[in-house]
C-alpha cells in the first residue's frame, strides 16, 4: 500500500490549541459560530465557512466556500499556519480516557481507494460527496483527515512508535481532555523506512470519514480531466489521512432513540418484542449491554434487558449478526415502522461518548418515547464486513477519540 509524505500546512507551535477544531460534521453552525466569537483563529472559519457571514447565506455556495479559502490563505500570510519546508510524515498520538492510539499523518492514493484497496464499510450519500468534493476543489486543499486503519503488525507498529521517544512539535491537552502529541519526520531515510514497510500491507480500512475519502477521489478525477499533462503524481491524486493499527482503536456504542411506539400500546409493544427477544426488567438503573446480542431498553421510567432469541439473525452472515442489524430487522422495522433509519425523522442516534444517561434524559423530557442501548460493534466485525465487500447499517460505529481538523492541511 502507498504511504506518501507531504508538505503539511500546520499551525505555528504556539497556535495549535487555538487553531485545531473538531471535525466539521460533529458541530452545528451555531456551535462553530460561538467558538469563533471567542477564538478568531479557530479552524471552523475554514471548515464551516458560513460562520464568516452575518446574514443567512447558502453554506454550499461558491462565495461561502471561497471565504474559507481566503481565511486559510490569511492564516498562512499572518504566520498563524506555516508550510513545511520539505515533505514529511507525521507521527501522531492521541490519549483519552486511559486509551492511547499512535499512527501517522500522511497522504494516501485515491487510485487505491477506487481500486478497493482502501476498503469501506459504509454507503455514502451523493449530496454529501458533492458538498465535500466542491470544498476540496475550491479550496485546493484537504482540510480534514480521513481516519484509516491497518491490521496491526508488531514490526510495523514499532517503526512508528519508536519516533515517539523524540521531542514532539505539539504536545497539548484539548478542551475535552484529549491529549495530542505530534512528531515530524523529515529525514529521508526514516521516511523511506516507513514507506517501504507499508508496501507489504495488502489493504487499509476506512474507520471514519467515508465521505471525505469519496470526495477526495471524485475531486481527483475532476482535477485530472482539467489537466492535459496529468501524470498521476500530482498532489490531488493523494488525500490526507491518519493511519492507525486496528488494535489500538476504540469503538463506542451507537445508540437509538425513537419518538413514538408506532401507534402501539405499551402492552402490545411488549407482546410483539417478546416474540424475538427475551425481556428482563432491570428497574431504574441505566442498563449498558455487557456482550453482543443483548440490548438495553428504556421506556416509561424503567430499564429492560433484551436478549436476541435464536433465529433473529444468521450466524454465518457478519452483517446479519451485527447488533445494529438485529435491532433494525427484528424490532425497529417490523414493530416500530422505521423502514429507513437514514431518512426517518422518528429515529435519532446518540454516540456513546454522551453516556447511557443521555438516553434516559431524552426519553424523560418527552422528546422521545423509547431508547435502545447497544453493545459496541467490534473492530474485527468492521474489517470482516469490509473484506467481504459488504456494507454496515447506518450509524453502526462511533470512534472515539475523533480526529481534529486544522492540525495538518494538505495543499493541492
Residue-wise pLDDT for 166-185, tens only, equals 999 999 999 889 999 999 99
Question: Are 102 and 31 found together in one domain?
Answer: yes
Closest of 379, 322, 387, 319 to residue 149, by C-alpha: 379
Percent of the chain residues topping a pLDDT of 90: 86
CA nearest to 82, candidates 190, 7, 160: 7
Residue 352 in grid coordinates? 456513546
In this predicted structure, which of 27-31, 68-72, 144-148, 379-383 has the lowest mean pLDDT? 27-31
The DSSP line for 149-200 is EE---HHHHHHHHGGGGS--SEEEE-TTS-EEEEEEE--HHHHHHHHHHHTT
Residue 324 CA to residue 72 CA, distance in Å, equals 40
Average pLDDT over residues 196-208: 97
Q: Please tell me the pTM assigned to this model.
A: 0.91
Confirm whether 390 is domain-assigned.
Answer: no
Q: How far is CA 296 from CA 112, 154, 279, 375, in A?
A: 40, 37, 10, 9
Same domain, 183 and 267: no
Are 242 and 274 spatial neighbours (Cβ–Cβ below 8 Å)?
Answer: no
Whole-number CA gyration radius for the chain: 23
Q: What is the pLDDT averaged over residues 2-31?
A: 94
Residue-level pLDDT at 12? 97
| Mean pLDDT for the stretch of residues 290-317 | 96
Question: How confident is the model at residue 395, as a pLDDT?
Answer: 87
Apex 161 CA angle, 158 and 162, nearest 5: 85
Mean pLDDT of all residues in 97-103: 93
pLDDT attached to residue 317: 95
Range of the domain at 365: 254-375
For residue 118, the cross-strand partners are 204
219 and 349 assigned to the same domain: no
Rounded Cα distance, 226 and 190, in Å: 35
Could you give phi then psi for residue 43, rounded to 5 degrees? -70, -10
Q: What 8-state DSSP symbol labels residue 405?
A: B
Residues 202 and 325 in one domain: no
pLDDT score at 299: 97
Question: Is residue 367, in this structure, part of any structural domain at all?
Answer: yes
Report yes or no: 141 and 411 within 8 Å, Cβ to Cβ: yes
Measured CA angle at 336 (ends 330, 337), to 5 deg:
95
User: Is 384 within the bounds of a domain?
Assistant: no
Q: Check whether residue 281 and residue 228 sit in a common domain.
A: no
Identify the pLDDT of residue 13. Answer: 96
Q: Are 170 and 182 in contact (CB under 8 A)?
A: yes
With respect to residue 2, please indicate whether it lies within any of the assigned structural domains. Answer: no
Handedness of CA 67, 69, 72, 76 (dihedral sign): negative
pLDDT band at residue 57 under the 50/70/90 scheme: confident
Q: Is residue 286 part of a domain?
A: yes
Domain count, the chain: 2
Cβ neighbors of 111 (< 8 A, separation 6 or more) are: 232, 237
Does position 58 have pLDDT exceeding 90, yes or no?
Answer: no
Domain shared by 71 and 195, yes or no: yes
pLDDT digits (tens, 9 = 90+) for 186-201: 999 999 999 999 999 9
Shared domain check, 323 and 185:
no
* Any domain includes 387: no
Residue 293 and residue 144 share a domain: no
In this structure, are 200 and 344 located in the same domain? Answer: no
55, pLDDT greater than 80:
no
CATH of the domain at 323: 3.30.1760
- Strand-pairing partners, residue 150, are 245
Task: Flag whether 383 is in a domain.
Answer: no
- Neighbouring C-beta atoms of residue 365, cutoff 10 Å: 8
Rounded Cα–Cα distance for residues 22 and 41 (Å): 13
Q: What is the pLDDT of residues 214-259, one digit of tens each?
A: 999 999 999 999 999 999 999 999 999 999 999 999 899 999 999 9
d(CA 104, CA 123): 26
Does residue 314 sit in the same domain as residue 208? no
What average pLDDT does the chain have?
A: 95
Report the pLDDT averaged over residues 384-397: 93
Q: How confident is the model at residue 385 (pLDDT cuts 50, 70, 90)?
A: very high
Assigned domain for 33 exists: yes
pLDDT number for residue 116: 96
State whether 227 and 348 are in the same domain.
no
Interval 116-166: pLDDT, tens? 999 999 988 888 899 999 999 999 999 999 999 999 999 999 999 999 999
Residues 158 and 233 placed together within one structural domain of the fold:
yes
Amino acid at each position: 500500500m502507498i504511504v506518501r509524505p507531504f508538505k503539511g500546512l500546520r499551525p505555528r507551535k504556539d497556535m495549535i490549541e487555538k487553531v485545531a477544531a473538531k471535525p466539521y460534521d460533529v458541530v452545528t453552525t451555531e456551535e462553530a459560530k460561538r467558538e469563533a466569537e471567542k477564538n478568531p483563529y479557530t479552524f471552523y472559519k475554514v471548515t464551516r465557512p458560513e460562520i464568516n457571514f452575518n446574514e443567512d447565506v447558502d453554506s454550499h455556495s461558491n462565495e461561502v466556500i471561497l471565504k474559507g479559502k481566503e481565511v486559510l490563505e490569511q492564516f498562512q500570510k499572518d504566520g498563524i499556519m506555516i508550510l513545511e519546508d520539505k515533505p514529511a510524515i507525521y507521527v501522531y498520538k492521541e490519549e483519552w480516557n486511559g486509551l492511547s492510539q499512535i499512527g501517522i499523518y500522511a497522504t494516501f492514493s485515491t487510485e487505491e481507494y477506487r481500486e478497493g484497496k482502501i476498503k469501506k464499510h459504509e454507503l455514502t450519500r451523493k449530496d454529501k460527496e458533492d458538498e465535500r468534493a466542491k470544498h476540496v476543489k475550491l479550496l485546493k486543499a484537504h482540510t480534514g483527515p480521513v481516519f484509516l486503519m491497518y491490521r496491526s503488525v508488531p514490526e510495523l507498529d514499532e517503526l512508528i512508535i519508536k519516533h515517539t521517544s523524540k521531542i514532539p512539535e505539539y504536545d497539548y491537552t484539548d478542551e475535552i481532555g484529549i491529549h495530542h502529541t505530534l512528531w515530524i519526520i523529515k529525514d529521508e531515510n526514516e521516511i523511506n523506512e516507513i514507506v517501504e514497510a507499508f508496501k507489504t500491507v495488502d489493504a487499509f480500512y476506512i474507520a471514519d470519514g467515508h465521505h471525505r475519502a469519496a470526495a477526495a477521489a471524485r475531486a481527483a478525477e475532476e482535477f485530472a480531466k482539467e489537466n492535459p499533462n496529468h501524470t498521476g503524481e500530482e498532489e490531488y491524486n493523494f488525500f490526507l489521512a491518519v493511519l492507525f493499527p486496528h488494535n489500538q482503536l476504540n469503538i463506542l456504542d451507537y445508540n437509538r432513540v425513537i419518538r413514538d411506539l408506532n401507534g402501539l400500546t405499551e402492552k402490545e409493544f411488549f407482546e410483539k418484542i417478546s416474540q424475538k427477544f427475551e425481556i428482563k426488567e432491570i428497574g431504574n438503573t441505566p442498563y449498558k449491554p455487557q456482550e453482543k446480542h443483548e440490548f438495553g431498553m428504556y421506556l416509561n421510567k424503567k430499564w429492560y434487558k433484551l436478549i436476541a432469541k435464536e433465529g433473529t439473525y444468521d450466524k454465518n452472515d457478519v452483517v446479519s449478526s451485527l447488533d445494529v442489524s438485529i435491532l433494525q430487522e427484528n424490532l425497529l422495522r417490523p414493530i416500530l415502522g422505521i423502514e429507513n433509519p437514514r431518512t426517518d425523522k422518528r429515529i435519532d442516534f446518540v454516540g456513546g461518548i454522551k453516556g447511557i444517561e443521555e438516553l434516559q434524559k431524552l426519553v424523560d423530557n418527552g422528546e422521545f418515547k423509547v431508547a435502545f442501548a447497544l453493545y459496541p460493534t467490534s473492530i474485527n466485525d468492521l474489517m470482516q464486513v469490509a473484506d467481504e465487500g459488504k456494507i454496515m447499517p447506518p450509524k453502526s460505529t462511533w470512534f472515539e477519540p475523533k480526529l481534529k481538523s486544522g492540525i495538518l492541511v494538505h495543499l493541492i
